[in-house]
Structure 1
Amino acid sequence: MRPVTLKDVALRAGVSPKTVSRVINGELHVRPEVRAAVQRIVDELDYRPNAFARSLSSSRSYLLGLFLDDPGSGYAADLQLGALMRCRERSYHLVVEPLDITAPNWAGQIIDSIRALRLDGAILTPPICDSEALLDLLDSEGLAYVRISPRGDATRSGLIEMDDRSAAREMTEHLIGLGHRHIGFIKGDPAHSVSLKRFEGFTDAMTAAGLTLRPGDVREGDFSFRSGLRIGEEMLGGTAFPSAIFASNDDMALGVLITAMRLGIGVPDRLSVAGFDDAPTSRAAWPQITTIRQPKGEMAAGAVDILVDPSYRASPTSAHFRRLLDYELVDRLSTGPNTRDGSSQRS
């Protein structure tokens, strides 16, 4: 069978090929009822636009770039999947670009990529989304971009984020509600904007509950499993340790969990462990890790939606393109009531 063409869709929908093209390309000036009718025929016929032909017939490439500092992380994998699925729905394609802005030639590399690929837009993830030099470069190239969880000027571009501070506060309040008073905290990579926000949420809850931090209760990690193992050794290896530890992401929480088990500290009967992100590691661990479900896939999908919106390039600083998504506390088996009768001593 021959492939379905744009003309086939137009004939079936009773509209012109130009109207079908406008609907597929997300252009304005199409009546909602016409757009819905055309989209229904597109779905029924399973029409797939030819990306090469589309790019030749317009000034767009229908390619979006996802720029990441660590493409191998679980966080990055969830972002990639969310962006990829939404691009497929919007008849766009995704290019994943690793970017190390500490490299001496990073600017030349990204300019080469932008010009060679003719990207229509870029999704910037932390911490590179906070690089003023990068933002200035993209502005000079005229490339539209959307930032995920940035630290800097919220009015500079479209952005997608969640309230990391409130989420961390809620998790800390959850631990306090279980009777924990001696709670340790592991910070994330200081280069990431969310690291400070999560620590602030933790201290907000501790202060509100009238709880004081003891020396060594707060340690700095880097979001890696290895740092969770190291800090787990530091916090649990002595004669006294917290009844609960809240790590800024699930990879570090897993490191603490494994260290506790190696030291013979039962989880959650003698130590509660909480994480952040709802990464695959939080569900693969045993016991499964209590965590904050961050809508990473939805954040990336939302960034795609903004970039393909025809009105975005005309008003990228509009508040309409600054979106706050919800989170969810997922209560699993790695946390439980404090049963250590007020003592932090190992038996």
Structure 2
Amino acid sequence: MVAGRFRKRTLEKPRKSVRRKSRAVTIDEVAALAGVSPMTVSRVVNGQGKVRDTTREKVMRAVRELDYTPNLAASSLAAAQHTRIALIYTNPSGAYLRELLVGLLRVASRTAIQLVIDYWDDLDPEAERKAARALAQKVEGVILPPPLCDSRAAVMELIRAKVPVVAIASGRFSEDISCVRIDDFRAGKELTEHLIAQGHGRIGFIKGRAEQSASARRFEGFQAALDEAGIALDHSLVQQGDYTYRSGLKAAEKLLSQRKPPTAIFASNDDMAAAAISVAHRRGLDVPRDLSVVGFDDTSAATTVWPELTTIHQPIASMANTAIDVLLRSIRRRDRSTRVLVDHVVPHRLITRDSVAPLSARKRGKNG
């Protein structure tokens, strides 16, 4: 609602230094006097949309008669409606994407920005450059979730176009764009330490996308925890995935088909962890009695499987909120000659559920 302040006019001649108090005039009062809707008044005052000349004149006559002045804060909000921010996605995890979209849409509705959703289907670097170049002509800022947050081609093209960019959930700070992320190394280490504390030493690991920095950092955290516990890394227990459920099925099959299978599996996201549980069930294994499984992200996938997943909670919706805030501040900076980069690390949490159990003494002796 556009609000303002005014000084009432009087038909009497002013007396010696008589001051009259003013009160706030609402947009509804202007609309009532002009015989139009408050939305029409807003369009006329802010110069937006198509309004008939006769209607515009009625509104302006009412504005003059009431000595109405629009509130600057409200005008800024109206101006924000023209700030177009793009989300480019090609994330294979449907659960992760849902969390991200809900967070962004909630923030977009509150800040009155226009959110543009652009889907890139595994483009090659040259195609990414062309797509980024075209998008830069239409928007004021861009949010890059994984895996595009690690796309050098897209990032450099947007930087060349002088479009502010914020990466969500990249594995490490970038020297090129602002980032909103968790500490993937620390989170991966904590999750592995949790499994080790339950007696597990033979732990399978399902990687995420090979080119994604967050996936690499989670694996580095896994390795660091093993090293500190004096457990040698067994490369036969490391399988490549790509964050999809299907890739989790293939990786889990390879791990559980081994002559000496792992007693626990660390999957780099919840989708692949859910797939690992499915494979275990198909093989007649009880989770967590025969096999413990952990995931990562704490998306809806973590609580729609049985048993529910022990995982790392990554506050995706909150990260979306922060990314929008960082982006808007960058867009509204008057001095664009220098770029101010932000590395915002948000806290994560280890969420323990029923997919992990202590390794029995019998199994510990067999796998020791």
Q: Fold conserved (TM > 0.5)?
A: yes
Match of 1:339 in 2: 360
Partner of 2:106: 85
Question: Equivalent residue of 1:308, what SS?
Answer: helix
Q: What does residue 101 of structure 1 align with? A: 123
Are positions 1:256 and 2:276 aligned together?
yes
TM-aligned CA distance change 1:161 to 1:270, over 3 Å:
same
Q: Superposition pairs for residues 183-198 of structure 1, below 5 Å?
A: 183-198=203-218
- Shift of residue 64 of structure 1? 0.7
Shift of 1:239: 3.6
- Amino acid across the alignment from 1:305: D
Please report how far the alpha carbon of residue 308 of structure 1 lies from its aligned counterpart in structure 2 after TM superposition: 1.4
Provide the residue aligned with 1:33 in structure 2. none
Do residues 17 (structure 1) and 66 (structure 2) align? no
Structure 2 residue 37 is the aligned partner of structure 1 residue 2: yes
CA apart distance, 1:81: 1.4
Look up the SS of the partner of 1:82 in the other structure. Answer: helix
Q: Which residue of 2 aligns with 1:144?
A: 164
Q: Is the 8 A contact 2:132 2:154 kept in 1?
A: no
The letter of the residue matching 1:17 is P
Q: What is the TM-score of this pair, normalised by structure 2?
A: 0.76
Are residues 1:281 and 2:334 paired?
no
Change in Cα spacing, 1:105 to 1:221, as seen in structure 2 (3 Å) is: closer
Deviation at 1:163, TM superposition (A): 0.2
Cα deviation, residue 340, structure 1: 5.0
Conserved 8 A contact 1:188-1:223: yes
- Amino acid corresponding to residue 251 of structure 1 in structure 2: D
2:135 matched residue in structure 1: 113
Contact 2:226–2:232, Cα closer than 8 Å, also in 1: yes
Count residues with an aligned counterpart: 308
> Distance between the aligned counterparts of 1:287 and 1:112, measured in 2?
46
Q: Quick check: 1:249–1:275 contact (8 Å CA) kept in 2?
A: yes
Tell me which amino acid in the other structure corresponds to 2:151: S
Tell me the CA shift for residue 113 of structure 1: 3.4
Give the structure 2 partner of residue 44 of structure 1.
Answer: none
Q: CA deviation at 1:63?
A: 1.4
Task: Could you tell me which runs of 5 or more consecutive residues in structure 2 were left unpaired when the two chains were aligned.
Answer: 1-35, 47-62
Mapped partners of 1:219, 1:150: distance in 2 = 21
Instruction: Give the unaligned 5+ runs of structure 1.
Output: 25-48
Deviates more, 1:156-165 or 1:282-291: 156-165
Q: Is the 8 A contact 1:254 1:281 kept in 2?
A: yes
User: Are 2:198 and 1:168 aligned?
Assistant: no
TM-superposition CA deviations, 1:234-262 (whole Å, max 9, x none): 11123421111111111111111011111
State the one-letter code of the partner of 1:154.
Answer: S
- Distance in 1 separating the partners of 2:92 and 2:325: 22
**Equivalents in 2 of 1:92, 1:297: separation in Å?**
17
CA distance in 2, matches of 1:313, 1:23: 15
What TM-score, normalized by structure 1, do the two folds share? 0.80
Q: Distance in 1 between matches of 2:92 and 2:295?
A: 21
CA contact (8 A) 1:147 1:157 kept: yes
Deviations 1:28-67 (A, max 9, x none): xxxxxxxxxxxxxxxxxxxxx4xxxx48xxxx83211001
- Taking the aligned partners of 2:249 and 2:92, their CA distance within structure 1 comes to 22
Identity %: 33
Shift in Å, 1:135: 2.1
* Distance (whole Å) between structure 1 residues aligned to residue 295 and residue 261 of structure 2: 18
Provide the C-alpha distance between the structure 1 equivalents of 2:346 and 2:353, rounded to a whole number of angstroms: 22
1:213 maps onto 2:233 in alignment:
yes
Q: What secondary structure is seen at the aligned counterpart in 2 of 1:95?
A: strand
Please state how far the C-alpha of 1:82 moved relative to its aligned partner: 1.1
Higher Cα radius of gyration: 2
**Alpha carbons of 1:324 and 1:111: their partners in 2 closer, same or farther (altered >3 Å)?**
same
**CA 1:202 to 1:152, structure 2 compared with 1: closer, same or farther past 3 Å?**
closer
Q: Which moved more, 1:138-147 or 1:276-285?
A: 138-147
Matched position secondary structure for 2:96: helix
CA contact (8 A) 2:312 2:350 kept: yes
